[in-house]
Every structure is written in structure tokens, then in C-alpha cells.
Structure 1
Amino acid sequence: MRPFFLTLISALVLFAQKPEPAAVLKMAAKPASPEFQKNLEASFTPQQLEKGEASLAVGPDSLYAIKAAKPPQLFVDDQPAGAMKKAGAYYIGTAKIAPYTSHTYHYMIDGKRFGGRFDVIAFGPEAYEQAGVPQGKLSEKFTSNSKIYEGMASEYWVYVPAQYNAATPAPVMIWQDGQNYANRAANNRVLIQIDNLVHQKRIPAAIHIFIAPGKVGAKAMRSILYDTYTDKYSHYLLEEILAEVSSKWNLRKDGYSRAIAGESSGAICAFNAAWWRPEEFTRVYSRIGSYTSIQWKPGELDGGNIYPFAIRKMPKRNIRAFLSDGSEDIENNHGSWPLQNIQMANSLKLREYDFRFVFGTGAHSTAQGHAEIPIALPWIWRGYDPAKTSEEFVMDPAEKEKPYFRVKALNRN
């Protein structure tokens, strides 16, 4: 019996180390209580509490904690968030934050800015399990051995909605960096959100393919696959991945019924597939896209940095695209992620593409993208009609009336 009790005790200790965020938020109503302080310390590392980087959120309810000798001033999205309360050696603050996006916070101590983060996620209700919603099924892990990328092995998973009927071909959505989503318990809550959106009939019951970037031996191929301005990856998807998946599930073969998504380099990869093969991929979801010069080799190979100009100068493609980024995204020798995403949006607008651009305050983080799924997926799938195999995407008339995106020097004199 001893091993059983040891296992039980270990499980209880593990549970005590990571209390449910909702429970911690509820206990925050009594910050002086020893129970709350114990759970606060179990929720964060000492370093997070000391550096002012301890926060959590459940839907629109958020909590911030810091170990400080005197009361700090909390700012959420650069706005004062009210007085903080004493909780033993800590100060805590709470705030209501808008759902479907990410938020920033920081503290002011002795007139100086301190701590904070750019990636507090405010999920909408679609990100939480709901009664009566059937769950899709995640497949086993498959391995694809490529001939197009000679010697490359890639892992992928297939998520099949509960509403899938093998007698009827299903639409398809492909996600790059798919290893991050093939886990229902992951904090991105992608699978939960897909189930809820399908159940609410806000998106079609598509089969989702989550592909991890491949390797040739020990060589990681991610940037070569994702950041290169060629049509090679689209051939890989069509001739290898989709061919394999369609041998097991009944898939639609029209580009009207295919969407493709990714973040960072995976986002430019998604746009790449639609750009080169718009008859095969028409719906794009791009998050913190790396439309920069990562794979640019001057005089030899174009990189994703040319996209804003290619869109303006080359023939218009039949693509619908949802793009999102944040003002604190990367700035390095490859380029400026925020400025390139703004350039992408303005180029798409200039050529009257059917696009939407959401620009938040986040860094190079997945937070905003995870939160906005209930906005982005219904937008790219809007109007989907299974009786159709094509549609000419046109710019929303409301977008035509809006100005171009402009940049102001907000953090400099």
C-alpha cells in the first residue's frame, strides 16, 4: 500500500503547486488570508513575484502580484488600474480586461517603470469547455517522409470534428508548427475553441491538420520550409501531406474549402502557400508574421521581405487574409516585424484584397493569436457554402472607407 499513498501524496503536492487560476482569482477577494497567500506562492515562482512578472487571467478577470516593500502603482494597457492591496509580503491588483486579445501591464515604483509583461491572454468564453459540446478526436502522430524535400521527416496530427461524416468530403485547415496545438490541455486552447465554434456553426466542420516543421537528420528545416519565397512548400502540402491525409479521411479538393494558418515564420509560410497557389489555398490566417529577410540571399534568393511590394506590383490573387501583430514585436537585423505587418496590411488594402488586420500591443508572442481565434476563424470562413467550390473574394465595403494604417512615434520624443 505504501507506493499508492506515496503516489497520492505526490499528486496532491503537484496539485497544490499549481492551483486553478479561477480559484486564485476568487480567493483574491480576501488577500490577507493565509490561504490566498499560499496559493499565490504556489501559482508563481519567487523570481516572477520579485520581478513583477506574475499575472494570470481567466476570461476578462485578471490578477497581478508583486513582492514589494511599499505599494507600487499598477498600470494595465498603460492605464492606472487602481490601488493595490497588501497580501503578506506581496501586493496584488485585479482588473477587468477586454476578451479576444492580449494585454500589457507594468508597475511604477518611486517614479520608475518596473516589471510587467506584454502577453496577458484574455480568452473569450469559446476557449473554455462548455456543456453539451461534442469533442473532436485527435489522431495518433503520423510521420511523413518527403521526396520533395529529400530526406526530410515531418510529424503531423489530424483533428477530426465530432460532426465529420465520412460520406461527405470535409473542408480542410492546415496549421504550421502543429506540434504546439496537438494537445487539448495546452494553454493555447485551440482544440477547445474549434469544437465550440463548430458547435455554434460559426465555422464549418473542417478537418484540421497540424504539421510540425521537418528535419533532415539532425538539421532543422523550419526556416527553409517557412521563410523561403518559393512555391516548393505548397507542392509538399498538396502532393505529400494532403495526399496522405486524404487516404484516411474524405477531404474537399477545392481551394475554396481550404484554409491555412501559422504564426511567425509559420505565418509567412501560410501566406506563401496561398500566394503561389491561390487556386488551392484561398483563406489565410497570419499571426505575428515574419515578412522579413530571414531567408533573403541578395542576388540569389528572395525572402519574405519583398511581400509588401510583390502584393502592390504583381497580379492580384484571389486570397482572403486575416493578419495580426503587436507593436512590441521583434526588431532585428532581419527587419521590423511590426512595420512589415503594417506594410502588408496597407499593400493588401491598396490592391483591394479581402483582408483584415488587427494590431495590438503584444510582443513576439502567441498570446494575442490564441485569444483572437473566435474572431479570426469565423472571419476567414464567413459565408462558407458547401455547395460552392469557388468564390471571388472582394474587399468589405466598410474597409474601403477606412484610412491606411499609419505609424506614430509613441515611445520616443
Structure 2
Amino acid sequence: MKLIVAAILSLFISSQTMAEAPRKPGDYPLGADSEVKAVPHGQVIGPVEFHARAFPGTVRRYWVYVPAGYDAKRPANLLVFQDGQRALNPGGPLRVNTVLDNLIAQGAIPPTIGVFVTPGNLSEHYPDNLGMSNPDHRAEEYDALGDDYGRMLIEELLPEVAKTYVFRSDPKKRIIGGTSSGAMAAFTVAWNHPEAFGNVISLIGSYTSIGMHPATATTPFVPGGDTYPGLIRKSKIRPLRIFMQDGSNDLDNEHGNWFLANQQMVKSLEWANANADPWKLGPARYDLKYVWGDGSHSDQHGGAMLPDILRWMWRDDVK
């Protein structure tokens, strides 16, 4: 009997110890809205190969998420997400199509068409063995401050999708998002084209010098994403709603410190709002929300928050 009682006490103490185990940095479990539920599921079409005129010699893949009950007579909102192969990964931390299924079924967000795009790869056909890995033209597209990637989306890829599916043209009804360099690409598209996208999701954004190239005797200086804080402070405010997330254990390497870079972005956006009148940066203001955590260069924290990010983004569309 004593042995049985001792065993029970040992099991109780062990379970208590497990329950009280300290949380590890970067531990952000996914919530119920990121799990597959018994709700109407949208259809994911793709992958489709796409050769863009803006990037000759490259090929990319894209997928289209069509919400359950889609009605072409009632244009849906639009979500464009970079690194589409990871955004749709059913075993990954983002699971964007599952989140859309659940939130649309709840009535928490309006019906939304999703377009999930990979970066380009320098090949005739997209390699089947890449899996979740990055195509080889990602940095040239995502980490550049130029407008080639934005024009590719707006003038080439989205019109191709619009041949089959109807979505809203109002920038307030459109989100562009991504993680890491994909977040940098999303911000750049909205920065250059606020008439096309009025909402930005930026998770662990790479606002560093990845795309920067020093001047040489034969080539000019090319700026990188670390230029944005200065640009934001000295440019007209775009009418953008922006969500930013990063973690204190993000990367620190030859390109920069990711967490400091994201904090600089937030400080610049806040400064622009606070000084819009004296510096004649208005009349618009940035609608900004940010969350800092203790994660590393991982999609885990952003994925855990994604349902609430989308609720916040589309809050004006739900009564």
C-alpha cells in the first residue's frame, strides 16, 4: 500500500513539475484558429507556374485560395502573401488557408481571396525538389527597394488571377504580407503602391542591408532595406495600416540586427505620425500596431498571432 501511495505521490510531483516547467524563449503555440476544424473549407488552386516579364529568365509558383461560398457577383477581399510555399505548409506555423477557413466561417473576417506567391527561380521550370527552401532569385526580388517586384504583382500576376476570380480593387480591402525578406517585399510593394494595397503584415521583417551594394569604380551605390527608417521620416505618409512583429532573439549578422531594425521602423512610423503637421508629411497617418516577443528568426510567433492580426486588419469590415 505504501508503495502505491509513493508511486501516486511521485507521479503527482512529476506532473506538477512538468506543468510548471519554465517557458522557453520563442515558444508560441498555435491556437485553435490555426487548426483544421469542421467548417466549410476553401479551395486551394495550384501550384501554377508563372513566368514574369519583370524578371526574365525566372519562374515562380503561385496558389489561389478561393473561400467557401465564393460568389463572383460579390467581390472578395484580397490577401497576397509572399513565400507562398511556406505560408500554405499544413505542418508549418503559418497555415494561412486554415486560418482563413476558420475566421471566415466565424464571420470574424469577410470572404477573402488568397494569392500565395513564391520568389522566382533562375530556371525554365520551378524545381520540384525545393520544398520549403528559398528559390535562388529571392534576394534580388524581395530585398530590393526598387519597383520591379511590385509591378510584377500588380501588372502581371494579379491580372492573371483576376481572369478567373473577382476581388476588390479598393486598397483598404487588400492586404499584402510576408515574413523575413517576404515582409520587406510586402512593405516595399505597399510603400510604392498605396493605391493597390492599404494593409501590410510584416513578421520578422528583414529591414537590413541584404539588398545594399556598396559603390565600386564601375557601379553605383544600391541602397538596402536599412534605408527605410530615414525614408519614412522624410517622405509623405502613405495611408497604410501596418502590423509589425519581431523577437529580441532575431538575427544579428553582417546585414544588420533584425530586432533593432524593426524597432527603428516602428519609431520612424510613430515619429512621422507625431510630426506630420509641422513637417507637412500628412494628411494621412499610419495606422500602426506592433508586438515584440523573445523569438528568433522564426515564423512561430507571427503564426500564433495571425488570426488576431487578420481580425485587426479587417476590423472595419465586420459589424
Instruction: Give 1:312's aligned residue.
Output: 233
Q: Which residue number corresponds to residue 109 of structure 2?
A: 203
Residue aligned with 2:246, SS? strand
Is the 1:283–1:381 Cα contact (8 Å) retained in structure 2?
no
Larger Rg: 1
Which residue is equivalent to 1:37?
none
For residues 103-143 of structure 1, what are the alpha-carbon distances to aligned partners after superposition, in whole Å with 9 as ceiling and x for unaligned? Answer: 952xxxxxxxxxxxx33232222122334x21111112101
Residue 190 of structure 1, CA deviation: 2.4
Assess, with a 3 A threshold, how the Cα gap between structure 1 residues 371 and 166 changes in structure 2: closer, same or farther: same
Over the aligned positions, Cα root-mean-square deviation in angstroms equals 2.5
Equivalence for 1:245: 161
Whether 1:127 and 2:22 are equivalent positions in the alignment is no
Gapped regions of structure 1 (runs ≥ 5):
1-29, 34-82, 97-102, 106-117, 387-413
Is this contact kept in 1: 2:94–2:306, CA < 8 A? no
Q: Structure 1 residue 358 and structure 2 residue 291: aligned?
A: yes
Aligned residue identity for 1:345: V
Match of 1:216 among 122, 135, 140: 122
Deviating above 6 A after TM superposition, structure 1's stretches of 4 or more consecutive aligned residues are: 30-33
Cα offsets for 1:297-356 (capped at 9, x unmatched): 134211100111111111111111000000000111111100010111111111222100
Determine the C-alpha separation between the residues in 2 that align with 1:234 and 1:374: 26
What is the aligned partner in structure 2 of residue 149 from structure 1? Answer: 55
**2:303 aligned to 354, 364, 370, which one?**
370
Q: Map 1:38-187; keep pairs closer than 5 Å.
A: 85=14, 93-95=18-20, 104-105=23-24, 118-131=25-38, 133-187=39-93
| Structure 1 length-normalised TM | 0.65
Displacement of 1:384? 2.8
Note if contact 1:121-1:367 (Cα within 8 Å) is conserved in structure 2: yes
| Distance in 1 between residues matched to 2:180 and 2:91, nearest whole Å | 22
Q: Structure 1: how far apart are the matches of 2:83 and 2:54? A: 19
Equivalent positions of 1:254-293 (< 5 A) are 254-293=170-209
Whether the 8 Å CA contact 2:93–2:300 is kept in 1: the answer is no
Cα distance, 1:187 vs structure 2: 4.5
Equivalent residue, structure 2, for 1:380: 313
- The one-letter code sitting in structure 2 at the alignment partner of 1:356 is K
Amino acid at match of 2:144: T
Query: Where does residue 302 of structure 1 map in the other structure?
Result: 223
Q: Is the 8 A contact 2:246 2:291 kept in 1?
A: yes
Match of 2:142 in 1: 226
> Contact conserved, 2:107 with 2:318, CA < 8 A, in 1?
no
CA gap 1:330/1:84 in 2 versus in 1, 3 angstroms:
farther
Structure 1 equivalent of residue 265 of structure 2:
344
Note closer, same or farther for the CA distance 1:143–1:324 as it changes in structure 2 (3 Å cut): same
- Whether the 8 Å CA contact 1:138–1:182 is kept in 2: the answer is no
How far apart, in 2, do the equivalents of 1:84 and 1:292 lie?
48
SS of aligned partner of 1:315: coil
CA gap 1:367/1:31 in 2 versus in 1, 3 angstroms: farther
Structure-2 separation of matches of 1:84 and 1:379? 42
Q: What's the offset of the Cα at 1:234?
A: 0.7
Q: Distance in 2 between matches of 1:84 and 1:32?
A: 5
Select the residue among 243, 250, 258 that pairs with 1:329: 250
Tell me, what secondary structure is at the counterpart of 1:135? coil
Deviations 1:14-61 (A, max 9, x none): xxxxxxxxxxxxxxxx9989xxxxxxxxxxxxxxxxxxxxxxxxxxxx
The structure where strand makes up a greater share of residues is 1
> Could you list the runs of 5+ residues in structure 2 that have no partner in the other structure?
1-7, 128-134, 216-220, 274-285
The 2-side partners of 1:335 and 1:202 are apart by: 38
Q: How far is 1:158 from its partner?
A: 0.7
Counterparts of 1:31 and 1:246, CA distance in 2: 64
Distance 2:209 2:231 in 1: 14
Q: Which amino acid aligns with 2:229?
A: P
8 Å Cα contact 2:212/2:224 also seen in 1: yes
Residue correspondences, number: 285
Secondary structure at the aligned position of 2:59 is classed as strand
Give, in whole Å, the separation in 2 of the partners of 1:181 and 1:312: 31
Whole-angstrom distance in 1 between the partners of 2:246 and 2:312: 17
SS in 2 for 1:346: helix
Distance 1:93 1:221, change over 3 A: same
